[in-house]
Amino acid sequence: MQQDGFAGRIGRDRAQSQPYFPQRHGAAAGSPNILILYMDDMGWSDPSCFGSEIDTPHLNALAAEGLRFTHYTSHPICSPARAALLTGRNAHAVGTGWLSNNHPGFPGYSGEIPLQAPTLAETLRAGGYATYMVGKWHNTPGIDVTPSGAKHNWPVQRGFERFHGILEGETSFFFPAYLRDDNQVAPIDQYPPDYYTTDAWTDQGMRFIRELRASSADKPFLLYLAFNAVHAPLQAHAQDIAKYRGRYDAGWGALRAERHARQIAMGIIPPDTALPASDPRIPDWDATDPADRPMLARHMEVYAAMLDRVDQNIGRLLAFLDSIGERDNTIILFSSDNGGTDAGGPLGMYNNAARYMGLGPLPIEEERALTDDLGTARSTSLYPTGWGEVSNTPFPTFKTYTGGGGRRVSFLMSWPSRIADGGAVREQFVHVIDVMPTLLDLAGVPALDTINGKPAERMDGRSFAPLLTNAAAPAPRAEQYYECWSNRGFYRDGWLARSIQVRGEPINMENWSLHDLTRDFSESRNLADAHPEKLAELVGAFDEAAWKYFVYPLDNRQRSQKTADVTPEQRAIADRPRRYWPDAQTTHRGDIMPLIANRNFSIALRFTQRVGDQGVLFAIGDLTAGMVMYVENGLLKLHYNGFNRTTDMPDAALPAGEHEAVLEFEATGARQGRGRILIDGAEASPWTALSPTLVGAGMYEGLDIGLDRRGPVLWRLHEQYGVFRYSGHILDVVVTPGARAPG
């Protein structure tokens, strides 16, 4: 008998039946693999094939066999660029006009990619691809990166079959916090001594491919390898840093001029390209204190070492693809989310996380004394603004701004079996939203019409696939809007209008400049007065796009103000006491920090101490900032790290027995605070200044009970004891939030 919905026949027994096996959907035979190598905060000129002095031989090899695109642009900050890359849609249109960390209550800034906007991974998976991601995600709202958060916008829920990496924006390269395997925190208490994320991401990417090939010999794959290099904190292997010792002693002005000259000689910028005037915030190198210069140069030595290590790993990855015979049919894309940053200030910062507090560098004598620590696991540094300008040569401005230094990043594509004119340069305009439609075009995979049972949103980008084989092919389109942190821009047919704001000040809606990029590659000449009609046209076009794509309302507040935006749900949760137990994974910083950030609080810990017991009772944070209470040699101790402003409270004798130890903290205002320790209700350590107060951002780790996992709060304990597990018994820890600091 024929059964409805079944193409075979079902009888009473097998002899009377006819089986039917529906054809499984898969990618077309010969479909190319896709490998996206994505950098973080890397300037246009940093690969040596774009003009730098940094050793990047494997990127140079990709350029020699593939194409360099010299007018590729991006959204000038991380989360928006990544959302646009993965959806082919303008970032504001997919809720990601700024960092995904906060939600100010407006549709263009929710930090949440709509489920009806299919990702590249979702689309390729539907087209028969294996889909993998390794590295930095940063496209999930802050409220949802915690264990209790909704996971519908985590990588494995957005089309990646496997994920290994971090959900948030930055972490230590040596001690990454909350390293995820798919939806779970990887159960790692202590990393091996030689662990480094750039190496680990590459290892895991190759592991995914090996596992795929052990199961299927020909299923094509997408591997999105999203390095957290070269984002802060600037940390690198000692041997890589040593390689660049002395290379930056001439200073940022000289290195910028050298890169500019090299770019002209290489033919990747027009010979008449001017080098724009240096940002006025950058001191002339000769005017810097000679005593500071070793420190200033060391910052850039570390940065160069980080990119060098990325290139080494790309070399390993290319050799691996060669070894399995798949290099020729692998599309390789290399680029960055945005350009180099100005955030480090004129002299850089040993503890870059301090700026999330609104704090500047340490006193210069202390910064100098820490020079040799720059780049190690103990530092969380960021280079001076002058080196960010070098990275962005020949363009003005930086990450978060809409000048070329923020928008324009280097872009390479390689596909040995299809690109015939290897080493060529493409000058046509391309934007990050064009990447997804191009890759789908090349893979022969159609865009999804429906997703999650609803019509799929259409991509804003257009394919530039013809450019791979035809140097004369037109650009995929002629215009694009830009906005980041109230900085605005609009490009059309070779003309750029841009408006740059001073952060934290009222928005100047009228301060537009105009640039003819067909004659002024580096945006060095303002033609607003000469062509007012063209400027008016582009400003009007920006306004139209801004309304269409949910760019408004503009928000020029300082970072600390923007990241303080929380939903009513988050604020209510943060005002309730919470109980924690040992033998659980690290409590996410997003769960613990709102209870103690710039407010009064108490941390009460019940435990049993025997003679000779010692170890960490609780630890919050890491080397960037935090606190650790521990027992050593019969004494109860507390170390407080306020972004490298450290205090050790007076020790308290701890006899054997059952105890309750309580840290009482009072936030007295202006980021100042004090604390005392009570043992069994009696004051054991008197009120002591513990400043500055901690905030919800800056440190990477959250709360550990009974040990200090991964990134340590106190380096001495890490060197001497490792995670320093407490050998006694801990019953529980109760954190009780109190009044917020005055003002």
The catalytic site residues sit at 78, 138
Nearest to 135 by CA among 251, 225, 214: 225
Spatial contact of 693 and 672, defined as CB atoms under 8 Å apart: yes
Would strands 72-73 and 430-431 be described as parallel, antiparallel, or unpaired?
A: parallel
Q: Which two tokens stand for residue 628?
A: 């650790």
Radius of gyration of the chain (CA): 27
Q: What is the C-alpha to C-alpha distance for residues 438 and 206, in angstroms, rounded to an integer?
A: 24
Angle between helical axes of 293-323 and 57-65 (0-180°, round to 10): 50
Would strands 330-336 and 33-39 be described as parallel, antiparallel, or unpaired?
A: parallel
On the CB side of 300, CA atoms within 13 Å amount to 29
Nearest to 46 by CA among 434, 412, 518: 412
Q: To which residue do tokens 């018994």 refer?
A: 729
Contacts of 610 (CB under 8 A, 6+ apart): 656, 727, 728
**Alpha-carbon dihedral of residues 85, 88, 94, 99, nearest 10 degrees?**
20
Is 156 buried (19+), middle (13-18) or exposed (0-12) by CB count in 10 A? Answer: middle
Q: Quote the distance between the C-alpha of residue 694 and its chain's center.
A: 22
Reported as type and span, the H/E element at residue 243 is: helix 238-243
Per-position b or e across 621-649, b if 16+ CB within 10 A of its CB: bbbbbbbbbbbbeeebbbbbbbbbbebeb
Spatial contact of 637 and 629, defined as CB atoms under 8 Å apart: yes
326 φ/ψ angles, rounded to the nearest 5 degrees: -120, 10
Angle between helical axes of 293-323 and 197-215 (0-180°, round to 10): 10
729: helix, coil or strand?
A: strand
365: helix, coil or strand?
A: helix
Q: Is the peptide bond before 416 cis (omega within 30 degrees of 0)?
A: no
